[in-house]
Every structure is written in structure tokens, then in C-alpha cells.
A and B are shown apart, each in its own frame.
Chain A
């Protein structure tokens, strides 16, 4: 009789009374009986290798549980904000009316800036306007292209170097003709006056 389950060489040989050894249970020591039962159980296990149930294994490296407390959790991606340093487009407004409220400047013409023919015309017009009195008047300054519509607003600087005028709001700059000259006249007493003359 084998003393261990693995020593049962002939598993098909069985006694008529149903026991492995042919002995009655009361004839067998309790310890031997336990061994015998264990051997019978083991012999009924199929020796074939059965595939194990497949288990999903995560390939990722996970921190060991002991380290989890030591490593601060990192966010998945750093938060990147895109700042817009560009100033964009300037808000542009159209306001011709406001520009027309600004005085428009003209400078005193220098000798030689009037063409010879214009100079002749100037003195002829003065004679037509003032008669013999024109001989006593001195031409102190001449400003070119002063619109007749704006003469009411014309202001001459003290040194006579410049004249400024403002276009009336109801007058379109596109409709204004050139060729009007504003002349500052000075009489023998130093008193000044102005005349608007058309010179071609």
C-alpha cells in the first residue's frame, strides 16, 4: 500500500467493497483514513492543464501605493493662456464739420510772388475802387485765395505775416473759386483797411 497519494500506481484497481485498499473503515486508523480520502480526492482531479481566465493588465506605470502620498499630483497639461498684445484697429471717425471750424491760414505774399500782370491788375482795381485816394494808400500786405464767403471772419496777425479765416458752415469747400486776394491798405495816418480784389 502506498504511503502517500502519489504512490497509487494502479488507480483502476479497486476492491469489491468499494474501498481503495479492500479494508473496512473501522480497521483503518483515523490518520490513515484521512490520508486515504485525500488521495482519492486528488486522484479524481483532472491532470489536464486548463487555460486560466485572461486578466487585463494595465501596462502603465503606476506609482507604488507607498509613493502616492509623497508625490504631489500633477495636472495633465499646464494651463497656457494666450495674451493678445495687439491693440487692434483704431476706431476712426469722420468729422469734416469740426475741421471746418478751424481757421485756415494764408501768409502775406512776398515781392515777386504776384505775377507782373496780377500786380498791374491790383493797382488798377484799387484806382477803380478808391479813385485818386488810391495814390495815398500803401499796400501793406496781400493774401492770396481768400474766399469772398469768408472775408467776414478774416483776421490778420499784428505783424501782418498771416491771415486766418473760417469758412461758413453752409459753404462747401468744393464750390469755392480761387483768385480773390485780400489786400491790407495803410493810409498816411497809419490807419489800415482791407479790400478784396479779384485778380486773374
Chain B
């Protein structure tokens, strides 16, 4: 059974971050959801990390914490922002960032049009536009091995839709926390 994991980290305010991880099955139905408590760096940490603070919090603290806690070990991870692809250096799971296009379909499902070493267009379903896939490197994401999981899921649900569920769920958690 194919499964996909979605990971996103949001800056609730300039100095408050929260992340969520959602694993869905081949029908896009949730099988696992994890979230991090809001992280508020201190003034000392803001001063010491400077402009690297956001990346550190998103990747090393929240992103890695969520992936470490996930039980869907083999499922490819679709990240909500390309910045999170740096998690590939902290975990063994294949990571990718997806963005929709309005381009003409490439041809058959699974067709790939190479752009750079870390970016390519991929036809994930029969008739819709291809997606731009960004990856960290070809060692972390092996196209022949991991792309079929995406195409299997994209045949049943829109592969970017679960990311919006993470955002909505985090909003609910924030709201409930007051």
C-alpha cells in the first residue's frame, strides 16, 4: 500500500513556529498526524542565530523532531516549502517539494523532463498538467524508486491537497490552545 507523508512548518508570528506531519494512505485518508508545540526562540537565541534562526528552527528543531516521531518510515515526504529539503541531511527518508504548473502534459504517467540535478517536471496523472518536483539530491530521492509512489497516489487524490489539511489542523490546535 502506497503512503505519502506531508510535512510543513509555519511561522505563526515572526518569532513563533509550529509544524505538522500528516501521513495519508493511497486514498489520501489520514493514518498519522503529529504536530509540534509552538516554538518561541528567546531573545538570546534570536540574537545568536540571526538570519539563520528560521532555518534552524524549521529544519533542525521542528522538522527533524516530527520526522523522528513518524512511524511511516519508508513513505516519501512531501515538504511544504523548499527550505525543508535540507532535512535530507538529517534523515534517511526521501524528500520532495511539489508545485503545480499550467504546462501541457508531458505524455504518459511517470514521464519526467529533467531541468537541473535537483529539479524536474513530472507527469503524475493521466491528463492534468505536470508538477515541478524539487529534491535535495539524487541520492536522497531516487526517481525510479520514489516517483511511482507519487503517481499511484496522484491517480486517486490531488497530491498537494493534504498540505492544506496540515495548515487547517494547526490553526485549530492554535485556536483551541487559546
Once the chains bind, are A93 and B45 in contact (CB under 8 Å)? no
How many chain A residues touch B (Cβ–Cβ < 8 Å)?
A: 34
Q: Is B81 an interface residue (CB 8 A)?
A: no
**Chain A neighbourhood of B26, CB < 8 A:** 178
Which residues, 104 to 158 on A, are CB-close (under 8 Å) to B? 104-107, 110-113, 144-145, 147
A85 partner, pick from B28, B49, B165, B169, beta carbons under 8 A = B49
A100 partner, pick from B30, B68, B125, B158, beta carbons under 8 A = B30
* Docked CA distance A111–B127 (Å): 8
**Chain A neighbourhood of B72, CB < 8 A:** none
Q: Which of B33, B39, B57, B156 has the most CB of A within 10 A?
A: B33
**Chain B neighbourhood of A111, CB < 8 A:** 127
Q: Is A98 an interface residue (CB 8 A)?
A: yes
Given contacts A102-B165, A113-B125, contact A88 B44 (CB under 8 A): no
**Chain B neighbourhood of A85, CB < 8 A:** 44-45, 48-49
Chain B residue nearest to A96 in the complex (CB): B33
1/0 contact string of B16-33 vs chain A (CB within 8 Å): 000100100111111111
How far does the Cβ of A40 sit from chain B's closest Cβ, in whole Å?
87
Once the chains bind, are B173 and A98 in contact (CB under 8 Å)? yes
Given contacts A90-B61, A102-B165, A110-B127, contact A96 B45 (CB under 8 A): no
**Chain A neighbourhood of B65, CB < 8 A:** 89-90, 92
Once the chains bind, are B30 and A91 in contact (CB under 8 Å)? no
Once the chains bind, are A92 and B27 in contact (CB under 8 Å)? no
Once the chains bind, are B29 and A173 in contact (CB under 8 Å)? yes
Which residues, 92 to 146 on B, are CB-close (under 8 Å) to A? 125-128
Given contacts A90-B39, A93-B37, contact A102 B69 (CB under 8 A): no
Interface residues of B: mostly helix, strand, loop or mixed?
mixed
**Chain B neighbourhood of A106, CB < 8 A:** 157-158
B29 partner, pick from A94, A95, A176, beta carbons under 8 A = A176
B33 partner, pick from A91, A99, A103, A174, beta carbons under 8 A = A99
Once the chains bind, are B158 and A105 in contact (CB under 8 Å)? yes
Given contacts A87-B39, A88-B61, A176-B29, contact A105 B164 (CB under 8 A): yes
* Docked CA distance A138–B75 (Å): 40
* Docked CA distance A147–B30 (Å): 13
B156 partner, pick from A87, A100, A145, A167, beta carbons under 8 A = A145
Apart from A92-B37, A99-B169, A104-B161, what are 13 other A-B pairs with CB-CB below 8 Å?
Answer: A85-B49, A90-B39, A92-B35, A92-B36, A95-B173, A96-B33, A98-B169, A101-B172, A103-B165, A105-B157, A105-B164, A110-B127, A173-B29
B residues touching A (Cβ–Cβ < 8 Å)? 19, 22, 25-37, 39, 41, 44-45, 48-49, 56-57, 61-62, 65-66, 68-69, 125-128, 156-158, 161, 164-165, 168-169, 172-173
Q: List 8 A–B pairs whose Cβ atoms lie within 8 Å, in order of A's numbering.
A: A85-B48, A87-B39, A90-B36, A96-B31, A96-B33, A99-B22, A110-B127, A110-B128
